[in-house]
DNA sequence: TGAGGCTTTGTTAACGCTAACAATCGACCA
DNA sequence: TGGTCGATTGTTAGCGTTAACAAAGCCTCA
């Protein structure tokens, strides 16, 4: 162990001395430059191995202006989607020889986003990947003039900036159509928070599917992604049913957590799923096959999102203009949806 | 926007020129050194603001040997606990003026751990926080001689290295005792993966509580943290019940996801919770109040774990020896547990 | 056999910052 | 009034690396 009086770490010059060459030759070997005689290269490599030399990243960064790292700005990491995306991103980044630094936004304000990007810029990251889909932070992103490539993940098509996103509308349409095809007269909807772009996209898809089918468009209920809000929405729907105001037989909930809360509320209210009401979620979290009943939902491939984000960054760094491309979600039918009861 | 022919970023000397002082004076202002005349300080600060100067982190790191950043080695980020801990860690680190770099382990091998720590060392991070509780990676950690402080989070008491951890045994004991106090003759257990230290700790606590109460210790069932394995365990238990081999009335499941799977399996098998069988989980994920029925569980404060991890790192960097301290888990009683049926 | 060109190696100068030291300026006291 | 000390500011060097250029050695071909 390098104890308290730790000798300073090895430098190129130490290796050079050991191998009997100049430090520049060592540098060339380390960076795989051509025009190093095979014998010399081997000697240097042996010296590197013997001494256990590792290049100093700070010095490299200073002279090259590149740290071979990306900054990831993220919020809501404690939710399944973002965490999974982070996983895909880190792996892809590492495979490409980049490391990842993360900044978690305290809130979705423009100031927080700006501050995070700024810190990354000062750290000379090669690119910033922003994975935030909320309110002002997104707007900030749109307007940002950063001196590094700035890639947005999961922000929906953005004309001004390279983007990777899941086609939320398509997923919502598929979910809604699935319910309509089961014979439901219409489909109710529990949204995510109002400042979330994903939530917005799902509302659009849901509405479009209803309109295309000529079905009535009921007033949506609003949630915040968490199970508790889904529970509240479930109680509200049950109340509507009991009051005889509306015939609620199908609900499309904007994510699986809220769907779980909704299922729980419906069970409390004595309504059976899918007997009385069919429910579709969104995300396909790993647990949702074990809800009561197992949840029909729309799968998003979050890890793929991360991978494509890195692809986009790399293309951008190479100067190739790459198309923004949506990841397509997929309907997973389980047992929470069934045919409408005959009237 | 800094366009393609981007002018190089501002340096100290630019600010110095603008303010009419030497670059060193600017450096002093930036670093809050004393002995700068108030008037000068203000002039420099104005210049900094006007030009929008931000110090170059790489140059600083090169000369100081410190990047003011921590490396976080983590695995299983896609699960609730690790993600939540990351959240607490990043926030606390940022508050202390440090930024976070993450490496996600591909597997829990020693090689993966070593590789990750090595990369961080080359990047001159000021400390490495390891958040991994699995198999060989933990052993690797124990043996590691890194030239930077290495702090382990959630690895249980470790004599050789500063550590923050949740007292798993205590949580498991509390959960088990809760069931025994409800009159259950014994408590069955579904474990996590065999190479997880958390899982191991929970087995110990469970067994101790049973032995202390003089209750029989049944053979535990084994899971892997995921809901599917809990489902399998649930079916296995139901089979035992049906075969009349055992009187299963209470189960302590090592995490909430598996408990969800178990609940689902029991429901499929026509067993009621808590009527026939009482179930306790572990973690208190945000959803578990909405399981069917709402799950009694043991809450771990993951974010607190992250915060304490940073505290420990900071103390270590200041040279203060800080005690390893456990975070205490807490029983949350919901509706999945009830009194044993009278025989 | 010598000029030209390639390959290989070395030398020097940055990159932007902080630390150590040097210099300047007042103020204060004997 | 001159010397001393503290406060303030400037100057220089060096962190470990890469890039640009220079030099040396060898081969090839006229």
Percent of chain B with pLDDT over 90: 69
Taking alpha carbons only, the member of B333, B330, B332 closest to residue B166 is B330
Distance CA A306, CA A92 (A): 8
Distance from residue B23's CA to nucleotide C28's C1', rounded to whole Å:
31
* Contacting residues for B174 by C-beta, under 8 A, at least 6 apart: B298, B329, B331
| DSSP bridge partners of B278 | B250
Distance CA A301, CA A306 (A): 9
Contact A102 B104 (CB under 8 A): no
Average pLDDT, whole number, for chain B? 89
In chain B, residues under CATH classification 1.10.260.40 are 12-55
- Name A residues 47-106 whose Cβ lies under 7 Å from strand C: 59, 62-63
In chain B, residues under CATH classification 3.40.50.2300 are 66-166+302-327, 168-300
Task: Give the pLDDT score at A293.
Answer: 94
Contact B227 A103 (CB under 8 A): no
According to the CATH classification, is domain B12-55 in 1.10.260.40? Answer: yes
Contact B121 A54 (CB under 8 A): yes
Are A129 and A308 in contact by the 8 Å Cβ rule? The answer is no
Using a 10 angstrom Cβ sphere, with 0-12 exposed, 13-18 middle and 19 or more buried, the burial of residue A66 is middle
Query: Chain B: nearest CA to A295, how far in angstroms?
Result: 12
**In the structure, how many helices (H) and strands (E) does chain A have?**
12, 12
Which strand C bases fall within 7 angstroms of a protein CB? Answer: 7-12, 14-20
Taking alpha carbons only, the member of B207, B216, B220 closest to residue B176 is B207
Q: Mean per-residue pLDDT for B152-166?
A: 75
| DSSP bridge partners of A181 | none
- In this complex, the residue of B1, B124, B291 whose CB is nearest that of residue A57 is B124
Compute and round to an integer the Cα radius of gyration of chain A: 26
Q: What is the CATH topology of the domain spanning B66-166+302-327?
A: Rossmann fold (3.40.50)
Task: Give the pLDDT score at A158.
Answer: 67
Q: What is the pTM of this model?
A: 0.89
Give the model confidence (pLDDT) of B78-137 as tens digits: 788 889 999 999 999 999 999 999 999 988 888 888 889 889 988 999 999 988 667 666
Sign for the CA dihedral angle at B36, B42, B48, B49 comes to: positive
Chain A partners within 8 Å of B56 (Cβ):
62, 122, 124
Chain A partners within 8 Å of B69 (Cβ):
101
In chain A, residues under CATH classification 3.40.50.2300 are 65-166+302-327, 168-300
Identify nearest nucleotide to residue A64 by CA to C1′ distance. Answer: D18
A16: CB within 7 A of chain D nucleic strand: no
Contact B57 A123 (CB under 8 A): yes
Per-residue pLDDT of chain A (343 residues; tens, 9 = 90+): 333 335 567 899 999 999 999 999 999 999 999 889 999 999 999 999 999 999 999 999 999 999 999 999 998 777 888 899 999 999 999 999 999 999 999 888 888 888 899 899 889 999 999 886 676 666 676 677 777 888 888 776 666 677 888 899 999 999 999 999 999 999 999 999 998 888 999 999 999 999 999 999 999 999 999 999 999 999 999 998 888 777 899 999 999 999 999 999 999 999 999 999 999 999 999 999 999 999 999 999 999 999 999 999 999 888 888 777 788 999 999 999 999 887 5
Peptide bond into A274 cis (omega under 30): yes
User: In chain B, whose CA is at the least distance from the CA of A260?
Assistant: B290
In the block, residue with structure tokens 């430090």: A23
pLDDT band at B3 (very low <50, low <70, confident <90, very high): very low
> If you count residue pairs, one on A and one on B, with CB atoms under 8 Å apart, how many are there?
159
Chain B partners within 8 Å of A226 (Cβ):
286
Residue B138 has pLDDT above 70, yes or no: no
- In this complex, the residue of A91, A94, A122 whose CB is nearest that of residue B55 is A122
Which strand D bases fall within 7 angstroms of a protein CB? Answer: 7-12, 14-20
Taking alpha carbons only, the member of B261, B217, B213, B256 closest to residue B235 is B261
Q: What is the CATH topology of the domain spanning B168-300?
A: Rossmann fold (3.40.50)
Task: Give the pLDDT score at A191.
Answer: 97
Pick the CATH number of A65-166+302-327 from 3.30.70.20, 3.40.50.410, 3.40.190.10, 3.40.50.2300: 3.40.50.2300
Taking alpha carbons only, the member of B322, B292, B290 closest to residue B309 is B322
In the block, residue with structure tokens 């494509």: A308
B57: CB within 7 A of chain D nucleic strand: no
**In the structure, how many helices (H) and strands (E) does chain B have?**
12, 12
Give the model confidence (pLDDT) of B260-306 as tens digits: 999 999 999 999 999 999 999 999 999 999 999 999 999 999 999 99
């Amino acid at each position: 162990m390098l104890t308290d009086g730790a000798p300073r770490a090895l430098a190129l010059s130490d290796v050079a001395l050991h191998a009997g060459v100049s430090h520049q030759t060592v540098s060339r070997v380390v960076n795989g430059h051509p025009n190093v005689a095979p014998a010399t290269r081997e000697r240097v490599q042996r010296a590197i191995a013997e001494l256990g030399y590792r290049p100093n990243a700070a010095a490299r960064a200073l002279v090259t202006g590149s740290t071979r790292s990306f900054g990831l700005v993220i919020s809501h990491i404690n939710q399944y989607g973002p965490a999974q995306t982070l996983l895909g991103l880190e792996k892809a980044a590492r495979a490409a020889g980049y490391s990842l630094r993360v900044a978690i936004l305290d809130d979705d304000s423009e100031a927080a986003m700006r501050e995070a990007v700024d810190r990354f810029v000062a750290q000379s990251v090669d690119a910033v990947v922003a994975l935030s889909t909320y309110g002002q932070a997104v707007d900030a992103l749109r307007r940002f003039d950063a001196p590094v490539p700035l890639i947005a993940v999961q922000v929906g098509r953005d004309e001004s900036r390279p983007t990777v996103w899941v086609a939320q509308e398509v997923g919502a349409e598929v979910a809604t159509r699935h319910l309509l095809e089961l014979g439901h007269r219409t489909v109710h909807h529990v949204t995510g928070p109002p400042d979330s772009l994903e939530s917005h996209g799902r509302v659009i898809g849901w509405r479009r599917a209803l309109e295309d089918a000529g079905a009535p468009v009921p007033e949506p209920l609003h949630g915040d992604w968490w199970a508790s809000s889904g529970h509240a929405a479930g109680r509200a729907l049950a109340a509507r049913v009991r009051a005889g105001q509306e015939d609620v037989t199908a609900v499309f909930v904007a994510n699986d957590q809220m769907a779980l809360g909704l299922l729980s509320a419906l069970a409390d209210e004595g309504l059976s799923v899918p007997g009385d009401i069919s429910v579709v979620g969104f995300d396909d979290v790993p647990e949702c096959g074990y809800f009561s009943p197992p949840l029909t939902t729309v799968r998003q491939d979050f890890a793929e999102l991360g991978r494509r984000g890195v692809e986009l960054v790399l293309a951008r760094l190479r100067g190739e203009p790459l198309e923004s491309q949506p990841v397509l979600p997929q309907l997973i039918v389980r047992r929470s949806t069934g045919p409408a009861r005959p009237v």
